[in-house]
Amino acid sequence: MTQPNTNQPHTPTITFRLLKPGLIGGRMQDLTLLIRIHPAPAPQRSGARLPLNLALVLDRSGSMSGEPLETAKQAIVAALRQLHPQDRVSVVSFDDTVRVEVPSGSVRDLDALIAQVLRIESGGNTALYDGWLEGATQVAGHLNQEGLNRVILLSDGQANAGLTDPAEIARRVAGLSERGVSTTTLGFGRHYDETLLLGMATAGDGNFEHIEAARSLPTFFESELQGLTRTSGRTVSLGLEPNPEYSTRVLEILNDLTQNSLGRYQLGNLVEGQPISVVVKLQLTAPAQSSTPLGVTRVRLAWTGLDGVRRKVRAQLDLPVLSPAEHGALPEDTEVVEATLLLTMAQRQRLAIAAMDQGDRAGATSYFSDVVGMAMSVPSPSAEMSTSLTESQDLQRLYEGGDDLLTRKRALSQSYNRSQSKPRKTE
Amino acid sequence: MSGHALPGSWTGTLDDLAALANTLLPQYLPLDRSSRTQDEVNPRLIRHYTTQGLLDPPLKEGREARYTRHHLLQLLTLRRLMQGGHSAQALQSLLTRQSDPELEALLTGELRLQVQTGNAALDYLASLRENQASAPPVVRMAPTPPASPAPSSSPARYTRLMLAPGLELHVSREARLPKTPAEQDTLARQLIAALDTLRRTP
């Protein structure tokens, strides 16, 4: 079921799929609804993408010394090479002090930029907030109302110098995001603070990535840039408007999404080629008969375009009323089955993390094994489900082996990626 | 995240407005701030906002001031925006121009304040730096590579600035001028350091 696109440029398309596309007449019933949001292509100006305004903020604390820092520098160099001359970029590094390695400027003299990045050396503590603040200032100084303004921060450690309170840092990041500069965080290795970095990325309307191997750093920088160049909307919110006529109500939303005070859900940026899947369970009572399809719910999607204008689009789900026999004969949509299962697995992973945090090893073990069980229960798994199975088995082994630090980061990252429909990257 | 719902329509006294605003306010403020008592409003503060032109004046009913849902929305939005780092000055007579739906959208963050003078992001970051309880972070410019002789093929063009008697500054068109306080500090220090080397040279 596809709702007609309103033909505005850069308007995403919303599609609905149901476990069974019909209602049973005269009954109260539960519905499983898969909402897919297909972002529009990114806007262009005279045939080229809109310019980026970036700060790359690099942790050069002592723990980064050696291969991690060298690889991170190479990753930044690779990222610089992908930029266009009209883009702006700055490079900031931090240990207990912050250094502006490259002040915000256009990418004209690439060789000089690269030389400056390669000179970065490792040092002492981790003044993560101060590093972010300087990177943010470099971006804000050249705020582009018709482009993307973003701080990309890479860290491998706990913030232990300057402001360190995760809630306060997230509040400040959110304040800046409201003013047009977003923040992405890349957590590297096994010792960074995943709660802080995930909180910053969520508050910052950017991405959070967990990276284990130094050699995969370039992949993550590259995909972040690719995502930015294909973005058509930011500060995206999804509202559910069930039809009160049939006492329709939302029982559950399977994705782990932050809600605003109007009950709308915060989604990630609209990136071309990266559809967002949200699974919702609804309950309603259908009348005994109806010659026309019933309007079950509306969905409202709002976003800020790259021109800074807030836009919204609504789509309505209409379903026919069927007899129990007709409804029974409908096959289940395997895509909805799989999307539901994948999100339920992500929910279990979050429960496992909560159990770990409470020191409940038995509980966490049982949740992790639930996830494996669910992935194995699929008779003919898709490629995505097969990958999820392998990942969940690896996670189970990692936890059994006693590597709690890495288990928690991986579980959090996998569950976050699933809730946000982030594409998988293989390390 | 249910909290108390915003009433569909409402009127009340100044005291009623303060009480209702304090019940509703926590859900619109960041979680970590919602429990702080200094975020509460009182009748005196509301009158102050009114005289400042941040809120519409109340209606009169006999001798008593009557406030409406519109005042409530203005007050909640004002507190939320101030909390988010907007100064009262920037908000002056801005909220009094907004309709109820616009105020509601501002309140929930659906809509962001567009009417800003200058650069809102930069102002916000400046306010963060000011509020920093600890000493400001030390920010340095990365050391610049040793100067290499410029290729002599095309003569570079410089602007001469007289800084003090006997002291001139030559600025090329390509020079990157310092913008952030950190960058300016660094340049000042580099200048002093350069002059120091001169002093040490016999």
Would you list the DSSP string of B13-59?
A: -HHHHHHHHHHHGGGGS-GGGTT-GGG---HHHHHHHHHTTSSPPPE
Instruction: Kindly state the tokens that stand for B202.
Output: 């016999």
pLDDT at A1: 53
pLDDT at A331: 94
Q: Using 50 as the pLDDT threshold, list the residues of chain B that sit under it.
A: 1-2, 33-35, 115-117, 133-136, 146-154
pLDDT in tens, A123-144: 888 889 999 999 999 999 888 8
Instruction: Kindly state the tokens that stand for A164.
Output: 């360190």
Would you list the DSSP string of B58-99?
A: PEEETTEEEEEHHHHHHHHHHHHHHHTT--HHHHTTTGGG--
**Rounded to 5°, angle at Cα B22 from B19 and B28:** 145
Q: Quick check: A168 and B32 CB within 8 A?
A: yes
Q: Dihedral, CA atoms, A220, A222, A227, A228, nearest 10 degrees?
A: 120
Residue A255 — φ and ψ, nearest 5°?
A: -70, 150
Residues of B in contact with A234 (CB under 8 A): none
Establish whether this prediction's ipTM goes over 0.90: no
Q: Quick check: A179 and B176 CB within 8 A?
A: no
A121 touches chain B (CB under 8 A): no
- The mean pLDDT value for A397-424 works out to 92
Residues of B in contact with A103 (CB under 8 A): 141, 176, 178-180, 183
**For helices B69-83 and B14-24, angle between their N-to-C axes, nearest 10 degrees:** 50
Length of chain A: 427
Closest-CA distance of chain B to residue A385, Å: 33
Residues of A in contact with B107 (CB under 8 A): 261
pLDDT at B8: 85
Residues of A in contact with B73 (CB under 8 A): none
Distance CA B109, CA B103 (A): 10
Instruction: Kindly state the tokens that stand for A59.
Output: 């942790």
Cβ neighbours, 10 Å, residue A288? 10
Residues of B in contact with A304 (CB under 8 A): 112
pLDDT in tens, A291-310: 999 999 999 999 998 888 88
Between A50 and A183, name the one with better pLDDT: A183
pLDDT at A15: 96
Closest-CA distance of chain A to residue B196, Å: 23
* R_g over Cα of chain A: 23
Instruction: Kindly state the tokens that stand for A63.
Output: 């723990």
Distance CA A386, CA A384 (A): 5
pLDDT at B29: 76
Distance CA A162, CA A139 (A): 21
Q: Give all domains of chain A, ordered by start, each with its CATH number.
A: 13-42+232-329 (2.60.40.1510), 48-229 (3.40.50.410), 334-419 (1.20.120)
Q: What is the pTM of this model?
A: 0.70
- The mean pLDDT value for A19-45 works out to 93
Closest-CA distance of chain A to residue B35, Å: 14
Coil, helix or strand for A148?
strand
Strand blocks (E) in A1-61: 13-18, 23-24, 28-38, 44-45, 48-49, 52-59
Q: Out of A103, A181, A259, name the one closest to residue B183 (CB).
A: A103
B26 touches chain A (CB under 8 A): no
Closest-CA distance of chain A to residue B165, Å: 31
pLDDT at B34: 46
Which residue in A260, A251, A333 sits closest to A16, CA to CA?
A333
Instruction: Kindly state the tokens that stand for A173.
Output: 């990041």
Distance CA B138, CA B145 (A): 21
pLDDT at A143: 86
- The mean pLDDT value for A219-241 works out to 91
What does DSSP assign to residue A47? Answer: T
Say yes or no to pLDDT of A112 above 60: yes
Do A10 and A26 touch, CB atoms closer than 8 A? Answer: no
User: What's CA B3's distance to the chain center, in Å?
Assistant: 28
pLDDT at A92: 93
Instruction: Kindly state the tokens that stand for A258.
Output: 């932050």
Instruction: Kindly state the tokens that stand for B163.
Output: 């800084």
Q: A169-207 burial string, b = 16+ CB within 10 Å, else e?
A: bbbbbbbbbbbbbbbbbbbbbbebbbebbbbbbbbbbbb
Q: Which residues contact A290 (CB under 8 A, 6 or more apart)?
A: A25, A320, A321
pLDDT at B153: 45
Which residue in A341, A206, A227, A334 sits closest to A274, CA to CA?
A227
Instruction: Kindly state the tokens that stand for A139.
Output: 């971006």
Strand blocks (E) in A39-97: 44-45, 48-49, 52-59, 88-94
Residues of A in contact with B32 (CB under 8 A): 167-168, 171
Which helix (H) or strand (E) segment is A373 a member of?
helix A361-376
Instruction: Kindly state the tokens that stand for A389.
Output: 């199975």
In this complex, how many residue pairs, one in chain A and one in chain B, have their CB atoms less than 8 Å apart?
123
Q: Are strands A98-106 and B139-141 parallel, antiparallel or unpaired?
A: parallel
Do B53 and B104 touch, CB atoms closer than 8 A? Answer: no
Residues of B in contact with A53 (CB under 8 A): none
Helices (H), A162-280: 166-177, 194-203, 217-229
pLDDT at A10: 76
Q: Quick check: A178 and B84 CB within 8 A?
A: yes
Do A155 and A126 touch, CB atoms closer than 8 A? Answer: yes
Residues of B in contact with A100 (CB under 8 A): 139-142, 180, 182-183, 186
A148 touches chain B (CB under 8 A): no
Do A249 and A242 touch, CB atoms closer than 8 A? Answer: yes
Which helix (H) or strand (E) segment is A96 a member of?
none
Asked which of A39-43, A147-151, A326-330, B114-118 is least confident by mean pLDDT, the reply is B114-118
Do A248 and A282 touch, CB atoms closer than 8 A? Answer: yes
B142 touches chain A (CB under 8 A): yes
Q: Quick check: B140 and A97 CB within 8 A?
A: yes
Side-chain-side CA neighbours of residue A367 (13 Å) = 22
B145 touches chain A (CB under 8 A): yes
Residue A161, amino acid: A
B84 touches chain A (CB under 8 A): yes
Q: Of all residues in chain A, what percent carry a pLDDT higher than 70?
A: 97
Asked which of A129-133, A223-227, A356-360, B95-99 is least confident by mean pLDDT, the reply is B95-99
Residues of A in contact with B109 (CB under 8 A): 178, 260
Distance CA A403, CA A358 (A): 16
Between A57 and B200, name the one with better pLDDT: A57
Distance CA A51, CA A229 (A): 8
What does DSSP assign to residue B124? Answer: H
Distance CA B73, CA B25 (A): 10
Q: Out of A100, A116, A143, name the one closest to residue B182 (CB).
A: A100
Q: Quick check: A302 and B125 CB within 8 A?
A: no
Q: Quick check: A120 and B142 CB within 8 A?
A: yes
Closest-CA distance of chain A to residue B133, Å: 9
Q: Quick check: B32 and A171 CB within 8 A?
A: yes
Query: Residues of A numbered 239-258 whose beta carbons fall under 8 angstroms of chain B's beta carbons: which are they?
Result: none
Q: Quick check: A127 and B132 CB within 8 A?
A: no
Do B144 and B65 touch, CB atoms closer than 8 A? Answer: no
A127 touches chain B (CB under 8 A): yes
Closest-CA distance of chain B to residue A178, Å: 7
Instruction: Kindly state the tokens that stand for A299.
Output: 């969905």
CATH code of domain B11-131 = 1.10.1660
Asked which of A38-42, A256-260, A377-381, B186-190 is least confident by mean pLDDT, the reply is B186-190
Q: Quick check: B138 and A97 CB within 8 A?
A: yes
Between A144 and A285, name the one with better pLDDT: A285
Closest-CA distance of chain B to residue A263, Å: 8
Closest-CA distance of chain B to residue A304, Å: 9
**Domain segments of chain B as ranges:** 11-131, 158-200
Query: Residues of B numbered 98-127 whose beta carbons fall under 8 angstroms of chain A's beta carbons: which are they?
Result: 107-112, 114, 119-122, 124-125
User: What's CA B101's distance to the chain center, in Å?
Assistant: 24
Residues of B in contact with A264 (CB under 8 A): 108, 110
Which residue in A183, A170, A79 sits closest to A137, CA to CA?
A183
HEC string for A282-329:
EEEECCCCCCCCEEEEEEEEEEEECCCCEEEEEEEEEECEECHHHHHH
